[in-house]
């Protein structure tokens, strides 16, 4: 198998930054310099797995924590060796040649690779994103025979569309995207509207594609060629270099700051323990201050307690002392399979609810729930909802709280909800008929109070049935004392009964078939169940391009 040495080319901005095209079975020739570190940048989709170097004493190789960058430098002058780097996707072969310290402008500081497949994939990805963003245009172009292009334009040239057509229902206009450039635009005449149906006519700029070598040989002139040819030395293969991970300076700095903070806190605690100051209680301090100014002690303590226990003051202090929290925005690339937080799901109860005891509840969705971009239905109509409700209602409560835990589709797909139920306006809880149990709470106490009142009235009567008092009735007889005792006993029983029954909680009844709402508390991700539309568009463009290439070769 033929092989070739590839010497990196310098970038126009700085000759110390080089770029080499990656090709299988090619050797990259890299000239280093003592005192200068060279950074090798690999592709974003791969990680360094193994680094093997022939002479590990003359050269040093250290990868970073992300395993995408490799830092190498010579440790001895005129040191030559080879280096093999195995990543998660590719194998790289290098021939390293060290030089003595000299002009740093001639040293290679950064080396990166260009990949021919990535250029074509980026063009296909751009077209696929355009097709995925405009599914209606793609559907219209699927039947080009039904399109009507009989349109004219009159107006400014800058606003003229490049293409106008309709499919009998909608009218489509295509405009050329202009990019401001310093020089003349070279590819303006190549701009066209590209869809899946025209994938065979895709024209890529030749300057963006790396040409494939015909004989697998690519030799580029180095910036400073050696005066004499150096024969490759005989290199003895040594054991792979074991690279130690770099020390995390930020972690060490944070550890030192935490140790310093703990030391200062300990010094402050010891200083407080050794202080000669007198500790005075708050109540004693208020009493002394009140007596000094001639005020009332009770009033002074009461005002102090009310000032400290003021909920508004506490709320102001707690909120005012909070710092502004900074959060970082994130992007969700699969909005076609996402039900975002805050979505309201409508449904109907299949089971009735009574709040005396906790239990589970079931409902079904009455409407279809679409994805965030409206592309597909994620929760179809009739999806089963499972939830739980609690008992122990407080006095005055008219709503029952329901937590919906799960949604189960008819195809077996299940998703955890963890969301609460609301009414039509989004208020927490579900309303129903409320039974406040007035008879159970006050019935027994009212009867006992009535009996006690009758007993008191009877106790006040004389033996002859009259209520008139005379001097002879000043001393109570045994009958009157018994009547008074009975009256007091009935009153105490009424108070005890009321004390026990007054705390009976209300009961909320919700009938079967009541409309419910589920307020989604977190994002529901269905991306594992549906393919990415952008990737599907890329694959479709590749298949169309392959079919076009096959038909062209057959002709």
Answer yes or no: do 444 and 373 share one domain.
no
The answer to whether the beta carbons of residues 387 and 412 sit under 8 Å apart is no
The answer on 123 and 111 residing in a single domain is: no
Let me know if residue 356 belongs to a domain: yes
How far apart CA 391 and CA 375 sit, in angstroms, is 41
User: What pLDDT shows up at residue 408?
Assistant: 94
Query: Under the phi-then-psi rule, with left for phi > 0, alpha for psi from -120 to 50, and beta for the rest, what region is 437?
Result: left
Question: Which CATH number does the domain housing residue 355 bear?
Answer: 2.40.128.260
My answer on whether 350 and 446 are in the same domain is: no
Residue 94 above 80 pLDDT? yes
Cα-flanking dihedrals φ and ψ of residue 235, to 5°?
Answer: -105, 130
Pair 343, 392 in one domain: yes
Give me the percent of the chain exceeding a pLDDT of 70.
65
- Burial of residue 345, with CB atoms counted within 10 A of its CB: 0-12 exposed, 13-18 middle, 19 or more buried: buried
Q: How far apart are CA 405 and CA 360, in angstroms?
A: 10
Sign (positive or negative) of CA dihedral 492, 493, 498, 500? positive
Residue 310 gets which letter from DSSP?
A: -
Residue 550 confidence (pLDDT): 86
**Angstrom distances, CA of residue 478 to CA of 364, 465, 528:** 73, 16, 90
From 203, 237, 270, the end of a domain falls on 203
Of 151, 160, 197, the C-alpha closest to 178 is 160
Structural domain boundaries enclosing 23? 4-115
Question: How many whole angstroms from its chain centre is CA 122?
Answer: 27
Based on the fold, state whether residues 138 and 21 are members of the same structural domain.
no
The secondary structure of 143-189 as a DSSP string is -GGG-B------S-STT--SEEEE-SS-EEEE-------SS--SSGG
**123-163 per-position pLDDT tens digit:** 677 776 766 666 666 666 667 777 887 777 777 766 778 77
pLDDT of residue 40: 92
Render pLDDT for 443-480 as a digit per residue (tens, 0 to 9): 777 776 776 667 666 666 655 555 555 444 444 566 66
What is the residue-averaged pLDDT of the chain? 74
| Token pair in block for residue 247 | 């020390």
Residue 101 and residue 197 in one domain: no
Whether the Cβ atoms of residue 100 and residue 34 lie closer than 8 Å to each other: yes
Most confident of 15-24, 124-133, 139-148, 179-188: 15-24
What's the structural domain count of the chain?
4
Asked whether residue 525 falls in the same domain as residue 393, the answer is yes
CA separation for the pair 63, 43 (Å, rounded): 14
Band of residue 114 on the pLDDT scale cut at 50, 70, 90: confident
Percent of the chain with pLDDT over 90: 18
Q: Tell me the CA distances in angstroms from 41 to 47, 48, 157, 263, one per residue in order.
A: 11, 11, 46, 43
Q: Which of 61, 90, 115 is the last residue of a domain?
A: 115
């Amino acid at each position: 198998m033929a092989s070739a040495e590839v010497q990196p080319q310098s970038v126009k901005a700085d000759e110390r930054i080089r770029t080499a095209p990656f090709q299988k079975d090619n050797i990259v020739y890299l000239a280093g310099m003592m005192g200068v570190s060279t950074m090798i940048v690999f592709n974003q989709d791969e990680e360094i797995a193994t680094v093997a170097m022939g002479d590990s004493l003359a050269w040093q190789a250290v990868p970073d924590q992300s395993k995408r960058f490799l830092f190498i430098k010579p440790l001895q002058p005129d040191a030559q060796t080879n280096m093999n780097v195995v990543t998660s996707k590719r194998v790289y072969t290098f021939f390293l040649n060290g030089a003595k310290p000299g002009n740093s402008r001639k040293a290679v500081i950064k080396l990166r690779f260009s990949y021919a497949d990535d250029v074509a994939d980026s063009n296909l990805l751009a077209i696929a994103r355009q097709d995925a963003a405009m599914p209606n245009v793609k559907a219209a172009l699927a039947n080009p025979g039904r399109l009507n292009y009989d349109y004219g334009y009159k107006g400014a040239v800058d606003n003229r569309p490049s293409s106008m057509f309709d499919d009998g229902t909608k009218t489509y206009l295509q405009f050329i995207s202009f990019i401001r450039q310093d020089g003349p635009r070279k590819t303006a005449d190549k701009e066209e509207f590209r869809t899946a149906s025209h994938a065979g006519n895709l024209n890529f700029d030749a300057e963006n594609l790396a040409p494939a070598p015909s004989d697998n040989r690519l030799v580029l002139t180095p910036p400073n060629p050696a005066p004499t040819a150096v024969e490759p030395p005989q290199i003895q293969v040594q054991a792979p270099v074991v690279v130690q991970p770099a020390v995390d300076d930020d972690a060490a700095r944070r550890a030192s700051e935490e140790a310093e903070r703990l030391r200062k806190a300990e010094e402050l605690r010891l200083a407080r323990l050794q202080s000669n100051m007198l500790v005075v209680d708050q109540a004693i301090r208020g009493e002394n201050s009140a007596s000094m100014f001639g005020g009332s002690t009770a009033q002074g303590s009461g005002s102090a307690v009310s000032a400290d226990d003021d909920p508004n003051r506490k709320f102001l202090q707690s909120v005012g002392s909070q710092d502004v929290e900074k959060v970082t925005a994130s992007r969700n690339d699969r909005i076609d399979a996402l039900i975002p937080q805050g979505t309201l799901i409508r449904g109907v109860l299949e089971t009735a609810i009574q709040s005396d005891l906790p239990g589970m509840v079931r409902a079904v969705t009455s409407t279809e729930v679409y994805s965030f971009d409206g592309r597909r239905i994620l929760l179809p109509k009739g999806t089963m909802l499972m939830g739980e409700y609690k008992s122990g209602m407080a006095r005055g409560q008219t709503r029952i709280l329901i937590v919906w835990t799960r949604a189960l589709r008819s195809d077996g797909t299940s998703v955890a909800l963890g969301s609460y139920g609301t009414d039509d306006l989004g208020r927490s809880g579900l309303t129903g008929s409320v039974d406040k149990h007035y008879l159970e709470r006050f019935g027994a106490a009212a009867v006992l109070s009535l009996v006690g009142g009758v007993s008191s009235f009877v106790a006040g009567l004389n033996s002859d049935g009259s209520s008139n008092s005379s001097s002879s009735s000043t001393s109570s007889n045994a009958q009157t004392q018994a009547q008074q005792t009975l009256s007091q006993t009935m009153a105490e029983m009424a108070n005890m009964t009321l004390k026990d029954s007054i705390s009976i909680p209300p009961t909320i009844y919700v009938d079967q078939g009541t409309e419910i709402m589920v307020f989604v508390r977190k994002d529901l991700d269905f991306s594992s169940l549906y393919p990415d539309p952008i990737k599907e568009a890329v694959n479709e463009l590749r298949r169309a391009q392959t079919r076009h290439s096959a038909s062209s070769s057959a002709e």
